[in-house]
Chains A and B, each alone.
Chain A
Amino acid sequence: MSRPRQDPDLVRPYVRTGGRTRPSKDVRLESLVFAATGTLPGLSPDARRVIALFAPAQGGGLAVADIASALALPPSTTRILVADLIDHGLMTLAQGNNVDRPPASLLERVLNGLRANA
């Protein structure tokens, strides 16, 4: 058999989420989250990896999309993991991220600028 492209998920998404398919909270890809310092015993390896991403951020926040991208995890998996961490009190969701959303037209222009740079 000719070698096809690699399946990125040796560990399947349902194992990572313990079978859950929806986040317990309204966590979106564009949501900004902040990590509390410290950790809990019994955290899953993936949850620890998410927390570890914040170590160099010095209290700053990360977008859920960035977390997914950094850990090469599917977006839904990441949202479920982040929602779990919020439930555990290890992460907080930035307030009002829906209100502060910039208008689409602005984003469009930003995107075009980025494309011009790329």
Chain B
Amino acid sequence: MAATIITIVVLVALTAVVSMAAAWVTHRRWQQARQETHRLAREQQATQHALQKFVTETLPQIHQSGGRIAAPTPAPELAGTPIGEQLITVVKGTAGVVQAVVRDIQFTAHQEIEQAKTLGAEELRRSHTDAQVEIARVRSTALRSTEAAVRSVSSALVGMAAKTSRKVSEGVRAHEDDAAFETLVGIDHTVQQMLLVAQGWTVLAGGKLTRHWPTTPLTDVVRAAMGYVEDYDRVQPQELNVAVKTRVVGPVVHTLAILLDNALRFSPPQSRVHVAFEHGHHGVTVIVDDSGLQMTPEQLDAGRDILTGHRTDDITQLGARPQTGFRVAAALASAYGFRVDVQAPNSLLGTRALLTLPEDLLTTVPQQVSAPSQPAQDAPPTTLAPTPAGQPSALTPVTARPLAALAPAPAAEEAGQERPAARTTTVGGLTVRHRRSAPTPAPRPANAEPGRASVIAAWARGTERARAEQNAQLPAAETTQGHEA
């Protein structure tokens, strides 16, 4: 029994021990579970906190910085936990996405800006080109209308001045008294200077010289040029019996007048201007020397640039005080094939101007040595077209021609051109008179000849004139002019 009791006691004891152990284990597990719960609760709180921070701070930060933020440090509670890791990953990922989006946007924006720039540049270029085209168009229109305006004014002036000049030429032939001559010549000198100016502007405005002259020896070309300038009596001309072809007489005379005018203007009023000729291999050079202020090297260069055509200003570029002389000379020279140059100093320490006429603009002097400058009184046909053989004209080279005495010369002027070949008594039909007081009263047979046609014509002209003048005066033929031969 004892044994049983002992066994029972032992069994009870064992049970108690086991229970105790079980209770301890249970307690311990409970405690562990409680701790775990606490930890989890803390973790959850930290997570909540971290999420809130992510939403309220990190995301706006990412938003503001365009994804560029430092890697966030997790809350200490989450350090090393998967949630902490993932939160960091989320932050990094979000930042990356935002960065990518920003880059994308930036790239697109950049492209658009570039495109806009290109378009803008193109637009600018196009408007620039358009503007240039428009400017060129306006300029050419302005040039054309300026030229047309200047040309119309100057041509009209040339026309009127040329007509006046012609009237003066007729006038000095119609009136022979000195006072009329003086007045007409005074008018004429001004008219010729006006012609020089007006013709110059016509040339500058792209026009041509409209007056045409017959072939003329250089001697008279120089004297013609002198007629255009103010102080012509200061010019000391040489002579040369080489003629300038009809086509270039006007241009050469005009150009020479410009050179003479320059030389006279820029030299002292009492000094002379010398005109000389150099007949070389290639043609004739007309040399105009003054003893005035020599042109400076800069002026010479500028002058040469204009004269050689290196510098061509159109009529709208001449400025407020246009210097037209050299420009006109250059335009005429290039249009008609001669050359103009200036040099300084010359032997007089002044300036030298040179006008070089190539051989193809020159010809032999028509008719006799020191031929009349107006070889053809009724010149238009002779200057415009080659005359038929047999008709004496300025253009016909010196060849065998009918003698004046034999030719049925109705016009005294024409007879005047003829070589004085008649061996008898006349020069182109002039009646030679002899002194009445001559010791031999017997007239030479020549004297007995009746007057030639020219004389009759002259006489008739004289009487007509006298009659016209008489009409208002006396019926009787008591006039001083015309009637007496």
A: residues with CB less than 8 A from B are: 1, 3-16, 18-19, 21-23, 28-30, 32, 34, 45, 48-49, 52-63, 65-67, 69-72, 74-77, 79, 94-96, 100-102, 104-105, 107-108, 111, 114-115, 118
How many interface residues does chain B have, given as a range? Answer: 35 or more
Shortest Cβ distance from residue A111 to the other chain B in the assembled complex, whole angstroms = 5
A62 touches B189 (CB 8 A): no
Q: Which residues of A contact B211 (CB under 8 A)?
A: 7
A-B contact pairs, 29 of them (CB 8 A): A1-B155, A1-B159, A3-B380, A5-B380, A6-B379, A7-B162, A8-B169, A9-B373, A10-B249, A10-B253, A22-B181, A29-B482, A30-B485, A32-B435, A52-B420, A53-B430, A56-B427, A58-B444, A66-B458, A69-B455, A69-B458, A77-B172, A95-B435, A101-B484, A104-B477, A107-B477, A107-B483, A107-B485, A118-B460
Q: A1-B159, A11-B220, A45-B370 are in contact. Are A56 and B478 (CB under 8 A)?
A: no
Counting CB contacts under 8 A, is B437 at the interface? yes
Counting CB contacts under 8 A, is B321 at the interface? no
Q: Which residues of A contact B279 (CB under 8 A)?
A: none
Q: Which residues of A contact B216 (CB under 8 A)?
A: 10
A16, A61, A70: which contacts B223 (Cβ < 8 A)? A16
CA distance A108 to B175 in the complex (A): 21
Residue of A nearest to B183 (CB): A21
Residues in B392-445 with C-beta less than 8 Å from chain A: 412-413, 415-416, 420-428, 430-437, 444
Shortest Cβ distance from residue B84 to the other chain A in the assembled complex, whole angstroms = 109
* Candidate in B182, B373, B374 with the most chain A CB atoms within 10 angstroms: B373
Residue of A nearest to B213 (CB): A10
Shortest Cβ distance from residue B53 to the other chain A in the assembled complex, whole angstroms = 103
Counting CB contacts under 8 A, is B358 at the interface? no
Residues in B151-171 with C-beta less than 8 Å from chain A: 155, 159, 162-163, 165-166, 169
Residue of B nearest to A47 (CB): B370
B374 touches A14 (CB 8 A): no
CA distance A61 to B462 in the complex (A): 20
B165, B249, B370, B412: which contacts A70 (Cβ < 8 A)? B412
CA distance A67 to B40 in the complex (A): 149
Q: A10-B216, A71-B372, A72-B372 are in contact. Are A65 and B427 (CB under 8 A)?
A: no
Q: A6-B380, A8-B377 are in contact. Are A13 and B420 (CB under 8 A)?
A: no
Q: A11-B223, A22-B178, A52-B368 are in contact. Are A74 and B172 (CB under 8 A)?
A: yes
Q: Which residues of A contact B189 (CB under 8 A)?
A: 12, 14
B427 touches A74 (CB 8 A): no
Q: Which residues of B contact A23 (CB under 8 A)?
A: 178
Shortest Cβ distance from residue B369 to the other chain A in the assembled complex, whole angstroms = 8
Contacts A22-B182, A56-B422 aside, 11 further interface pairs with beta carbons under 8 A come to A3-B212, A9-B165, A23-B178, A29-B176, A56-B425, A57-B432, A69-B455, A71-B372, A74-B173, A75-B173, A104-B478
CA distance A11 to B220 in the complex (A): 7
A9 touches B374 (CB 8 A): yes
CA distance A1 to B207 in the complex (A): 12
Counting CB contacts under 8 A, is B192 at the interface? yes
B380, B430, B462: which contacts A62 (Cβ < 8 A)? B430
Q: A72-B413, A108-B477 are in contact. Are A61 and B377 (CB under 8 A)?
A: no
Q: Which residues of A contact B37 (CB under 8 A)?
A: none
A72 touches B213 (CB 8 A): no
A1, A45, A56, A61: which contacts B219 (Cβ < 8 A)? A45
Counting CB contacts under 8 A, is B188 at the interface? yes
B458 touches A105 (CB 8 A): no
Q: Which residues of A contact B210 (CB under 8 A)?
A: 1
B437 touches A7 (CB 8 A): no
Counting CB contacts under 8 A, is B292 at the interface? no
Residue of A nearest to B479 (CB): A104
B166 touches A5 (CB 8 A): yes
Counting CB contacts under 8 A, is B130 at the interface? no
